[in-house]
Structure 1
Amino acid sequence: MSSLGPGPRSPEPPAFGRGVLHPGLAAGVLGLERHGPAPGLARSVDYYWLVHWDRRGLPPYEQKVLSHPNVHLVFEEPGARVHGVDRSLFVRRLEGAGHALGVRFRPGGFRAFTGRPVAELADRSLPAADFFGPEADRLNERVRRAGPDAAALTAAVDAFLLARLPAPDPAVERQAGTAAAVVRRIADGPDLHRVDRLAAEFGLTVRQLQRLFAEYVGAPPKWVLRRARLHEAAERADRGATVDWAALAADLGYADQAHFTRDFTAAVGMPPARYAGGGPPGPA
């Protein structure tokens, strides 16, 4: 480990949270609110997010996000969709004025709704009606017609999901809980770099951990570990201070700076030093 110590973190995360790239630019373009679900949904849903923007008379803006290992149900134009774990760089083009309401499921939380391995949804966007029936499209129309009134919108989605919440299955809930705990351990400890160490912490073999993630998370544990490291790197770059990239690479467990630079560039689309310097402008 480098002299930076294991995973130094900002005392308060950026308002947008990890994964939203160039949050300083994003703050001037869009508003983001997070709201908790109804208590009965807590075992499945992490939170609701409401994004709103107004680009009327302004150029379109492309917001880029390094996604987390979560499934999302999103209500927006042109229709409600379920988005599996996006292992690439997610890009959302914002133009005109609008809003979108999303449900971020906990890692493992969507498994009960789909009844099949969540890995089958990876890098895919599917109509919400495939999982929730035609009422998903009717609710989408309500969300689209309404203004960005968080209380009204989240209450409507609470009722929608509670009515479709599968009956508790102890085996599924136990496995989903383990998956969520492992993902939380990864997010809380960017000093953890190896799948075998992660598996051992939870009393699992590497193969058991891989099967657990395929069934309940939707991305392999190696990918989740790498994505957590890149979230850490992007967050440090966004602080505005000079970054010792070689020290950061060592701190995040990379064999050398070149390996770290290749990983960051492949995920974000530019080298870390260029990203820290502001990168390309946001307008499309």
Structure 2
Amino acid sequence: MHQTHIRHRLEGIRAKQPWLVLSAAEKFHVATSDNPAISHFYSFEAGNPGPETVAIPDGCVDVLFDCDASQPTAEVFGTPMSAIGIELKSRHRYFGVRFASGIIPDCMKLSAQELIEHHYSLLDVIPQTEQLFEAIVSQNNFADQVAICQSFFAGKTPRPMAPLTQAVVRFIFEHQGNIRLDELADVTGYTTRTIQRQFLADIGMSPKQFSRIIRCQSAVYQINHSSTVTFSDIAFDLGFSDQPHFLREFKKLVHATPMSYQSQVKQQTYYDRIQYL
């Protein structure tokens, strides 16, 4: 598919894991979902041994299958809160499903807080996934893996979220994470204490922490999807007090300065690696 088309379709996916894309040996396959609880599916073969792959905060829950024929695994990953290293095995083929930011499948036997910065065996946290696991890891075709996963999660509802939390999540997204707790109190009519208590129960983190993640993802999105970008403009648009504050925050959450990140994404032909289903 032409790079421009790839770029336009990727604009619909706001939960970015750029270092995962760049860790692929060749193509990084992506498919969107007709299930609103799921952001997208992805598949890739890990490249040769090199620097540790980094996961960045995205507010999402991922299920990642290692489809190695001799020792397949499947793990559930909660969002990190800052950039962390993850281990990928060279030349192993991976298939993943990323749920939308803030969404937790109700079938998971974990609280929202237990998922944050942790990972678990899929078979331990979602009942009756043995057949799903066997079907995914034994299948070499990405489209078939997507269909299998779509079918499994079609009957699974997202964990119920209080209307207050839904409103707060919506406001955070609308403002790209650039919104204060007192502003959330003004627009919802609830006290900051009530907002924080309910949000923590539903999402597993505070509204401030979630806003920080969405603001970071918004910066990554702008760098990825803008042919020309000024870091001072991004800092201003996202409400940072000054550019140095933005640079420090970006480096902590993305594991690179904005300039270094932009350079690496361009040098390693980020969009050339992505193949849409």
TM-score band w.r.t. shorter chain: 0.7 to 0.9
| Percent of aligned pairs sharing the same letter | 22
Root-mean-square deviation over aligned CA pairs:
3.6
| Aligned twin of 1:32 | 29
Give the alignment partner of residue 129 of structure 2, picking from 132, 136, 149: 136
| Aligned twin of 2:272 | none
Query: What is the SS of the residue equivalent to 2:239?
Result: coil
Amino acid aligned to 2:139:
A
* Cα distance change of structure 1 residues 204 and 130 upon mapping to structure 2, 3 Å threshold: farther
Give the alignment partner of residue 93 of structure 2, picking from 84, 95, 98: 98
Is 1:149 aligned with 2:142?
Answer: yes
Is residue 57–residue 81 contact of structure 2 (8 Å, CA) maintained in 1?
yes
Distance 2:177 2:98 in 1: 29
* Cα distance change of structure 1 residues 76 and 201 upon mapping to structure 2, 3 Å threshold: farther
| Aligned twin of 1:215 | 201
**Ranges in structure 1 where 5+ consecutive residues have no aligned partner:** 1-9
What do the CA deviations read for 1:18-67 (whole angstroms, capped 9, x no partner)?
Answer: 523379957884323224256xxx5xx22441312374xx5657654433
Is 1:52 aligned with 2:5?
Answer: no
How far 1:262 sits from its partner (Å)?
1.3
Distance 1:153 1:181 in 2: 34
Query: What is the SS of the residue equivalent to 1:95?
Result: coil
Give the alignment partner of residue 102 of structure 2, picking from 92, 96, 107: 107
Alignment of 1:8-19 (within 5 A): 14=11, 17-19=14-16
Query: What is the SS of the residue equivalent to 2:264?
Result: coil
How far 1:275 sits from its partner (Å)?
2.2
Q: What TM-score results when the alignment is normalised by the length of structure 1?
A: 0.72
Amino acid aligned to 1:204:
Y
* Cα distance change of structure 1 residues 195 and 71 upon mapping to structure 2, 3 Å threshold: same
Alignment of 1:256-275 (within 5 A): 256-275=242-261
Distance 2:248 2:79 in 1: 22
Distance 2:8 2:28 in 1: 22
* Cα distance change of structure 1 residues 64 and 32 upon mapping to structure 2, 3 Å threshold: farther
Give the alignment partner of residue 63 of structure 2, picking from 49, 68, 73: 73
Is 1:89 aligned with 2:83?
Answer: yes
Corresponding pairs, count: 257
Distance 1:124 1:196 in 2: 30
